[in-house]
Amino acid sequence: MPYPQEKIKAELKAERARLHKLRLEQQGLPEGHGTSQKKMTKQERRELQEAQRLAKINGQPLKKSDSKSIHLEDKHKIQMQLGVSPKDSSSPLIAQIANMAITSSSSSTNPLSTSGLTPGITGGTGALNQRITEKALEAAMIQEKKVRMFEHLEEPNSRSFSGPPSDKWRGSSLTSISEGTECEKPVPSTKKPIPVHPAVKSAGLKMACFEIDGANERAAAMLKAFAIAINDYKTPPQQTMARHLQTYLNPQISYFVQQRPLTIGMGNAIRWLKEKISLVDIDKDEASTKRELISLIASYIQERIHAAIESVAEYGASKIKDGDVILIYGHSSSVLKMLIRAFKEDKVKFNVIVIDSRIGFWGQKTVRQLVAAGMARKPMEIGELVPSSIHNTDPVGHTNSSGSQAQNICGNVSYAYITSLGYVMKQASKVILGVEAIMGNGALLSRSGTSMVALAAHNYRVPVLVSCESYKFTDRVQLDSVVSNELGNPENLIWTPSESKQNWISPNKHSKSLVSNTMMAINYSPLASDRFGAWPSLNNTRTFVDLASQSKTLLPHPSTNFPNLNLLSKSKAINNMIATSAIGSTTIKHTKPQDKSTILDPIDKQEALKKWDLLEQENPLAKWREQPSLKILDITRDITPSKFVSVIITELGLIPTTSIPVVLREYKN
């Protein structure tokens, strides 16, 4: 289904597709490697299968698309380049790669040691072989870097993996929306795949890159996208809308799931929508049914989400009293609304402590919004400086003492990391938390760190108020955070922010939008583009990076025959650095392949190398790929036991955690 977005980028897409096909053609399909298989152990065989699977996935679109139309000349040319005859180009190579993967993953042996055995992978074969090995190595790497306890959880973004591996990244990237079509999962029940609606795609991608984050925003955005999708829906001939609309929506829903796991609120909304669709009167005409559904969705967004937030804010604000010190964690739209309401409308005099944590630094967003609402103290003028206030080095003094800063006693905003909770918690008189969902057993499902804040509050005997709209209640129960969770990209933890290290990206003054704030934490990575993709940056192969890796000089040590894991990631990172700097100056879209190579002039590369070395020094985890037993785990959600919670603020009023199943029951009837 042609949508305008795709037309705009058709040119770029065509070029990429051509290059992609060429690559696939070079790789061929894996066949006949039985001889080597017999000697392998069970684990080794599995590794090999993994490698084959990857190769096959590469091959798949080849079969689907018009593979025969690829110019034979091109194919021949490349094979000549590689110095490989057409017949033996595929199978031994794959076996070798598999071996590589095995040696690198199964033990701590250096992949370099095997380099002598594989003269085919050196020198002239260049970029192609490197790419294939990269993929095998990467698969092995993902396997190796898994924490066993969390093996049951999906790898970050692997759910968006349904196209060829190289599109894994593109599938969830904003920058290449045109590639998205390749990611569609064919729905088994229908012969023709139902395309994902661009509105859904747009919302899904924004969620994948955390531009839309927060349970409420995500649920609202999803429902809005569904409304648009239903609006554009046309019942195919010989189908009834009531029946077919369901099948039409399924790929839209699964697209959202692919991008990021749904929140409980989203799941509840989908269930509600499905129920409404199933209740559609078959005899009604299409237009009025659509109208009815759209208005239903609009009212759901309005009543269950927006109005609910408002009334939660109202109830919550009534609990904030003069002199309170409210401690909040991260960012929550309803908590923020509550505080601003109490400050502006109810004119309550209170202070706020914002607790923040890696990786998102959502608390900074909260702080900004509080300051924008007028909560912070005014910047101090030189005239106001009196010795006493200078020497009052205890910054907590303002919160509980009526000392020299009496005039500033209300509306102060403090900001601290979660590690200093023990230090700040004793100042707080109330803790207000926003959550993603509340389980049937009263446990809170929320961003990780919430449980720590609630625990500290519990230990310091500070009441914990939880704001939650009732559409986020669920029957599901969960006791701990390990059984079900969402894993983040581990590579995001490698880079540490510090102004002294010049790693902060100062927020753009002109765009105080969501993106600039929430992406701040992400941008200081030299692998910034990796943020969007599956975590090993090896996947992030863009055309210019491919071209770059063809030049042999890119490997820091040309003497090594086989790039070991470190070099792979390092060279990739350096490529990325160079590429991103190049994007700044030139528009890559319009340059021809020959011109692109000029981007990588040696000076830039040296600079990039220097920068990388510096980064490696400052961030000891940068070399984590080299250390097989070093793993990084980013758990993004946690479960807060219900005993830490004093009260839940919903639009229905203030209820205890034990009332969740009761409320759910009421809703059902």
Partner 1 sequence: MSTKDLSYLIDNFTLKLDQSKDCSSLKKALETANLIKNVVNSSKWDDPNTLMELIRFTGKKIVKTSQKDLVLFNVICRMTHLVRTEAKNYRNTLEIASNTNNNTPKQSGMSTPVMGLGQSTYNSVGKLINLVELNLLQQSRIENTSRLNLKTFILQGINDFIEELENTRINIASHATDHIHSNEIIMTCGHSKTVERFLKNASRKRRFMVVITESAPSYQGHKLAAALASPDIETVVIPDSAAFAMMSRVNKVILGAHTVMANGGLITNSGAQMIAMAAKYHSTPVVVCAGLYKVSPLFPFDQDSFNTLVSPDGIFPYKDEISDQIDVLNPVCDYVGPEYVDLLVNHLGGHLPSYIYRLLQENYDDQDIVALCGTIS
Pick out residues in 383-422 that bind partner 1 (CB under 8 A). 393-396, 398, 412-422
Stretch 491-520 residues interacting with partner 1 (CB under 8 A): 493, 496-500, 504, 506-507, 509
- Out of 61, 440, 628, 661, the residue judged to bind partner 1 by CB under 8 A: 628
Q: Give, for 329, the enclosing helix (H) or strand (E).
A: strand 325-329
Query: Residue 145 corresponds to which tokens in the numbers above?
Result: 């870097």
Q: Is 623 in the site for partner 1 (CB under 8 A)?
A: yes
How far from the centroid of its chain's Cα atoms is residue 405's Cα? 43
For residues 173 and 642, which CB has a smaller minimum distance to partner 1 in the complex? 642
Q: Is 357 in the site for partner 1 (CB under 8 A)?
A: yes
CB of 479 to partner 1, least distance (A): 8
What does the CA dihedral 637, 643, 646, 647 come to, rounded to 10 degrees?
60
Q: Which stretch binds partner 1 (CB under 8 A): 110-118, 204-212, 350-358, 554-562?
A: 350-358
Q: Which stretch binds partner 1 (CB under 8 A): 39-47, 273-281, 336-344, 616-624?
A: 616-624
Termini Cα distance of the chain: 42
Residue whose pair of structure tokens reads 């070399």 in the numeric block: 623
359 upstream amide cis, omega within 30 of 0: yes
Q: Is 3 in the site for partner 1 (CB under 8 A)?
A: no
- Out of 77, 627, 656, 667, the residue judged to bind partner 1 by CB under 8 A: 627
For residues 90 and 104, which CB has a smaller minimum distance to partner 1 in the complex? 104
Q: How big is the CA angle at 646 (ends 645 and 651), to the nearest 5 degrees?
A: 95
Q: Nearest CA to 375 among 428, 415, 315? A: 415
For residues 491 and 546, which CB has a smaller minimum distance to partner 1 in the complex? 491
Query: Residue 73 corresponds to which tokens in the numbers above?
Result: 């000349």
- Out of 285, 322, 345, 480, the residue judged to bind partner 1 by CB under 8 A: 480
For residues 500 and 594, which CB has a smaller minimum distance to partner 1 in the complex? 500
CB of 445 to partner 1, least distance (A): 11
Q: Is 272 in the site for partner 1 (CB under 8 A)?
A: no
User: Who's near 248: CB < 8 A, 6+ residues apart?
Assistant: 194, 229, 233
Tell me the residue type at 38. K
Residue whose pair of structure tokens reads 């973004």 in the numeric block: 157
> In this structure, are residues 429 and 398 in contact, taking their beta carbons and an 8 Å threshold?
no
For residues 59 and 488, which CB has a smaller minimum distance to partner 1 in the complex? 488
How is 337-348 classified by DSSP, letter by letter? HHHHHHHHTS--
CB of 626 to partner 1, least distance (A): 9
CB of 577 to partner 1, least distance (A): 21
For residues 202 and 485, which CB has a smaller minimum distance to partner 1 in the complex? 485
CB of 173 to partner 1, least distance (A): 24
- Out of 12, 22, 112, 455, the residue judged to bind partner 1 by CB under 8 A: 455
CB of 216 to partner 1, least distance (A): 21
For residues 302 and 498, which CB has a smaller minimum distance to partner 1 in the complex? 498
CB of 606 to partner 1, least distance (A): 26
CB of 624 to partner 1, least distance (A): 8
Q: Is 461 in the site for partner 1 (CB under 8 A)?
A: no
> In this structure, are residues 625 and 565 in contact, taking their beta carbons and an 8 Å threshold?
yes
Q: Which stretch binds partner 1 (CB under 8 A): 384-392, 454-462, 543-551, 552-560?
A: 454-462
For residues 253 and 376, which CB has a smaller minimum distance to partner 1 in the complex? 376
Give 111's DSSP letter. G
Stretch 527-566 residues interacting with partner 1 (CB under 8 A): none
CB of 634 to partner 1, least distance (A): 6
User: Distance between CA 521 and CA 361 in Å, rounded?
Assistant: 7
Rg (CA), the chain: 28
CB of 423 to partner 1, least distance (A): 5
Q: Which stretch binds partner 1 (CB under 8 A): 299-307, 320-328, 371-379, 463-471?
A: 371-379
Q: Which stretch binds partner 1 (CB under 8 A): 254-262, 466-474, 573-581, 632-640?
A: 632-640
For residues 223 and 521, which CB has a smaller minimum distance to partner 1 in the complex? 521
Q: Is 371 in the site for partner 1 (CB under 8 A)?
A: yes
User: Distance between CA 256 and CA 222 in Å, rounded?
Assistant: 8
For residues 393 and 559, which CB has a smaller minimum distance to partner 1 in the complex? 393
- 231, burial (CB in 10 Å: exposed 0-12, middle 13-18, buried 19+): middle
CB of 525 to partner 1, least distance (A): 14
Q: Is 8 in the site for partner 1 (CB under 8 A)?
A: no
- Out of 40, 112, 452, 515, the residue judged to bind partner 1 by CB under 8 A: 452
Query: Residue 7 corresponds to which tokens in the numbers above?
Result: 């037309």
CB of 187 to partner 1, least distance (A): 36
Query: Residue 128 corresponds to which tokens in the numbers above?
Result: 């192609």
Q: Is 373 in the site for partner 1 (CB under 8 A)?
A: no
Tell me the residue type at 270. I
CB atoms within 10 A of CB 266: 26
> In this structure, are residues 213 and 518 in contact, taking their beta carbons and an 8 Å threshold?
yes
Q: Which stretch binds partner 1 (CB under 8 A): 112-120, 169-177, 240-248, 441-449?
A: 441-449
Point out which residues pair with 465 in neighbouring strands. 432, 647
Q: Give, for 36, the enclosing helix (H) or strand (E).
A: helix 34-39
Q: Nearest CA to 570 among 504, 620, 526, 627? A: 526
User: Distance between CA 305 and CA 221 in Å, rounded?
Assistant: 11
User: Distance between CA 403 and CA 401 in Å, rounded?
Assistant: 5
Size of the site for partner 1 (CB under 8 A): 74
Stretch 124-183 residues interacting with partner 1 (CB under 8 A): 147, 149
User: Who's near 109: CB < 8 A, 6+ residues apart?
Assistant: 103
Residue whose pair of structure tokens reads 């009531």 in the numeric block: 242
Per DSSP, helices labelled H in 197-307 are: 198-208, 215-231, 241-259, 264-278, 286-300
User: Distance between CA 122 and CA 116 in Å, rounded?
Assistant: 9
CB of 380 to partner 1, least distance (A): 7
CB of 262 to partner 1, least distance (A): 20
Q: Is 629 in the site for partner 1 (CB under 8 A)?
A: yes
CB of 309 to partner 1, least distance (A): 24
Q: Give, for 351, the enclosing helix (H) or strand (E).
A: strand 351-356
